Chain A
Amino acid sequence: MPRAHYLNADHSIKSWLLTTDHKRIAILYLISLSVMFLLGGVAAAVVRLQLTTPHGVLTGENYNKMFSAHGIVMVFLFLVPSIPAAMGNFLVPLMIGARDLAFPRLNLASWYLYMIGSLMTLGALTFGGVETGWTFYTPYSSIYSNSNVTLAILGIFLAGFSSIATGINFIATIHKMRAPGLTWFKLPLFIWSTYATSVIIILGTPVVALTLLLVVLERTFGIGIFSPELGGDPVLFQHMFWFYSHPAVYIMILPSLGVINEIIAANTKKRIFGYTFVAFSSIAIAVFGFIVWGHHMFATTQSMYASMVFSVISFLVAIPSAVKVFNWTATIYKGSVEFSATMLYALGFIGLFVIGGLTGLFLASLATDIHLTATYFVVAHFHYIMVGGALTGYLGALHFWWPKMTGRLYPEFWAKISALILFVGFNLTFFPQFIAGYVGMPRRYAFYAPEYQIWQVLSSAGASVLAVGMLIPAFYFLWSLKYGKVAGSNPWGAVGLEWMTSSPPPTTNFEEVPVVTWEAYEYHPIHDDDKDMTVPSPTAPAVTAEERNAS
């Protein structure tokens, strides 16, 4: 371990709460996100418990509150900030060779906004709860709901501006603070996807913030912009909500797609096949993401012709997504593949992402969507993307960069076990829901007809396996903080600027500003035994590609 690094620079509580170091802020986010994930998970456990039997254990009202809490916490307080705020905060400056983000104080402010917003929302969910679902559709949320909605929405509003602050920081940093020689097409693909994510955050989040603010104004002052009584249109709320919330799915999945590139390149020791295509596919997903929102509203008063256009464009999203999957496959082909724990997470991700993506096509086509909309099929589809995709990517990222963040290795054996348990548990939880939805079980129902019970029991059983798969990493990560093997600056033999500094990095990230003369993922043809020879020394990172190839 290096003698001085960002973790031991100062031990006081104050030095953590007032830090402007992007790495420390990332750790603050990591801790708060883990708490949010735990709370969202508890709500999910209660939901699964309720659905194990057709008559359940909760009243309908409490069940509504429970699945709303699960959705609100997981989407707004966990998944949206997860990879950008925790991993992105830590990695963006390291990957581009900068000493910090462009606006460190804004970065700290974003964490405080997130915390205040989260506490407000959690307060509303705990003391009273809301029954609107995470979508806050009017008029459920405006006329027919209890007053907790106002507090919950204001919390989400603040958390949204925390995301926006992070997005502004990333965009300015990636544009202006890249190390000398690090041109756009030499950037790691994680940076490309983080950039695309930031663009979505900047363009989408303000719209949902304003939309939710209008619901608050309607509840408090009677400003009835969505009120059907005044001639307002509740479907307009849905348009404005999904204008953000569909791209928000890409806020959740794009950073994970970026993470998978890094993991696959490091575990196959190859340049990502079709780098340029993969880079632009992230941008394409961000662009297409903004013009498909109407596919959430095929069963509303939306015009049939609008629905047809939205349907066609939704199909187009499959193209950049498939570009990524095919390029990963081509990268793995004839690579020196190492089945490490991180690679297992990446491979699991690809499988689940493909299932999630292909079932999305069923929902994007008008005829099948009319049958499947608002059933468990939809629930299964978006959990394959949000949990199978985004969460698996988050866990993969946590494993991949854990040695860089803490300077210590986690036990590889247990990490592999947990990756496998997670994969099995996940499929057991959500695959039965495809079938339940296909045979007609509606989502959000507290009580259901007995013929669906078999699928719900399978799902609940899978959820317990899934929970085990998530608890194991919690234990060994904490264990590794004290007892883990010292990692060294580059345990995976990966290339990338973040691996050229010590683990954990010093407060200023690099001893001197690196000058980049090599391409992204420039692995030279070597095998595991001379892995160490490719690792540039942390104090002299400016090794040219020729020098490294010659070694």
Chain B
Amino acid sequence: MSLRAVTAAAASASRGGDHAGGDHGGVMTPTLYHQFEDVEQQNESYLVGMWTCLVQEIMFFGALFLAYTVYRAAYPATYLDAHKFLSITWGTVNTLLLLTSSFTMVMAVNANQHRKTMSVAAWLSVTILLSLGFLGVKTIEYSNKFHEGLWVGNFNYAQANTMYLQHHGGKAHHEAKDVYPYFPSVRELATGYSLNSVQPGATSTPGVEMTPAGPFTSYQGPPGDVEYWSKRAKLFFSLYFAMTGLHAVHIIIGILMMSVLIGLAVRKHPYVTQDYMPTEMVGLYWHFVDIVWIFLFPLMYLIS
């Protein structure tokens, strides 16, 4: 839909609809800044600028995803072993929270285009609540990691595994088997289980980091070397904290921008009553933050 069409739609909707924000009905008359010829040029410039900014953000996160990919290709078994500490339940809750918040954000933009200013404030408030819920869950997860000894500052993989075993010890044997073989201390408990079926003989040379067969084989180094596994797992959690932390910072920035918008809406500022581009821009940003999480969730929590 072209911008003209959107404005026209907003105009026709506002004739029959809610006039909460509109002071005199009719089409929106956004503030036109002196450098632009008309509103259409102004809005298109905003869109180009915002999309360019999102491209920039993709490259920013992209560098981290590159590091993630390189090390996952090099140490697949470490990733598989270390990811067991991430709670799929919390991850799923957070995914649902963020997906819902994207929906409420769309509703806010829609309400703004239809000049329902109070609805804009309401939908944005719901979005903020959902994202605060996301941050709350992240706080729980981070503090769990800290207590288990998985934060990079107090990293203690043996302790984390012992705690993990205590919690999951009663589980059925086949579940345990999926998890145990990769960590040596646990493996000692399940003696007799071969680290991998490909190269059962070549397993006990501490110091050997990778086989010449290349990074994609399932064999991942000396199974008896607790230090080796602990350090590689710390690398995984370095990535986990860097990526989810950077994402959380973006969530916080989004919350701040939405709060400003709510303030403008409540005070019936023309940026919201006469214009929908500010809300639309924050919306674009918010969907980007959402999409980053859509990639982070399977890459971190759903490794198999």
Listed in ascending order, the chain A residues whose CB lies under 8 Å from chain B are 93, 98-104, 106, 164, 167-169, 171-173, 175-177, 202-207, 209-211, 214, 217, 221-225, 227, 229-233, 236, 240, 243, 508, 513
Indicate if the CB atoms of A240 and B59 lie closer than 8 Å: no
Once A168-B53, A508-B34 are accepted as A-B contacts, the answer to whether A240 and B66 lie under 8 Å apart by CB is: yes
Within the assembled complex, what's the spacing in Å between the Cα atoms of A154 and B130? 32
Indicate if the CB atoms of A100 and B34 lie closer than 8 Å: yes
B74 sits at the interface (CB 8 A): yes
Listed in ascending order, the chain B residues whose CB lies under 8 Å from chain A are 33-37, 41, 44-46, 48-49, 52-53, 55-57, 59-64, 66-67, 70-71, 74-75, 78, 152-153, 209, 231-232, 234-235, 238-239, 241-242
From B35, B209, B242, give the contact of A98 (CB < 8 A): B35
Within the assembled complex, what's the spacing in Å between the Cα atoms of A227 and B237? 13
Indicate if the CB atoms of A203 and B238 lie closer than 8 Å: no
Q: For B60, what are the chain A residues with a Cβ–Cβ distance below 8 Å?
A: 206-207, 209-210
* B136 shortest CB reach to chain A, Å: 22
From A98, A207, A217, A230, give the contact of B62 (CB < 8 A): A207
Within the assembled complex, what's the spacing in Å between the Cα atoms of A222 and B55? 29
| Listed A/B pairs (18) with beta-carbon separation below 8 Å | A99-B34, A102-B36, A167-B52, A168-B52, A168-B53, A168-B56, A169-B49, A171-B52, A172-B46, A203-B59, A204-B59, A217-B242, A221-B241, A224-B234, A231-B231, A232-B71, A233-B71, A513-B37
Within the assembled complex, what's the spacing in Å between the Cα atoms of A427 and B59? 39
* B219 shortest CB reach to chain A, Å: 15
Within the assembled complex, what's the spacing in Å between the Cα atoms of A177 and B45? 8
Indicate if the CB atoms of B63 and A211 lie closer than 8 Å: yes
Number of A-B residue pairs with CB-CB distance less than 8 Å in the complex they form: 120
Closest residue of chain B to A176 (Cβ to Cβ) is B45
Once A207-B60, A231-B209 are accepted as A-B contacts, the answer to whether A102 and B34 lie under 8 Å apart by CB is: no
Within the assembled complex, what's the spacing in Å between the Cα atoms of A508 and B34? 9
Closest residue of chain B to A105 (Cβ to Cβ) is B33
Within the assembled complex, what's the spacing in Å between the Cα atoms of A103 and B35? 9
Closest residue of chain A to B59 (Cβ to Cβ) is A206
From B34, B41, B71, give the contact of A231 (CB < 8 A): B71
Indicate if the CB atoms of B44 and A203 lie closer than 8 Å: no
Within the assembled complex, what's the spacing in Å between the Cα atoms of A98 and B63? 36
Indicate if the CB atoms of A202 and B231 lie closer than 8 Å: no
Q: For B48, what are the chain A residues with a Cβ–Cβ distance below 8 Å?
A: 102, 171-172, 175-176
Indicate if the CB atoms of B242 and A173 lie closer than 8 Å: no
Once A177-B45, A202-B52, A207-B60 are accepted as A-B contacts, the answer to whether A225 and B67 lie under 8 Å apart by CB is: yes
* A88 shortest CB reach to chain B, Å: 16
Within the assembled complex, what's the spacing in Å between the Cα atoms of A232 and B45? 42
Indicate if the CB atoms of A177 and B70 lie closer than 8 Å: no
Once A176-B41, A177-B35, A207-B62 are accepted as A-B contacts, the answer to whether A224 and B235 lie under 8 Å apart by CB is: yes
Q: For B153, what are the chain A residues with a Cβ–Cβ distance below 8 Å?
A: 221-222
Indicate if the CB atoms of B232 and A231 lie closer than 8 Å: yes
Q: For A217, what are the chain B residues with a Cβ–Cβ distance below 8 Å?
A: 242
* B270 shortest CB reach to chain A, Å: 17
From B44, B45, B235, give the contact of A225 (CB < 8 A): B235
From B35, B44, B62, B235, give the contact of A232 (CB < 8 A): B235
* 12 additional A-B residue pairs with CB within 8 Å, beyond A102-B35, A207-B63, A225-B238: A103-B49, A175-B48, A177-B45, A203-B55, A210-B64, A214-B67, A221-B152, A221-B153, A231-B74, A231-B75, A233-B71, A233-B74
Within the assembled complex, what's the spacing in Å between the Cα atoms of A344 and B63? 43
Closest residue of chain A to B75 (Cβ to Cβ) is A231
Indicate if the CB atoms of B52 and A223 lie closer than 8 Å: no
Indicate if the CB atoms of A206 and B56 lie closer than 8 Å: yes
Once A102-B45, A206-B56, A210-B63 are accepted as A-B contacts, the answer to whether A177 and B241 lie under 8 Å apart by CB is: no
* A39 shortest CB reach to chain B, Å: 29
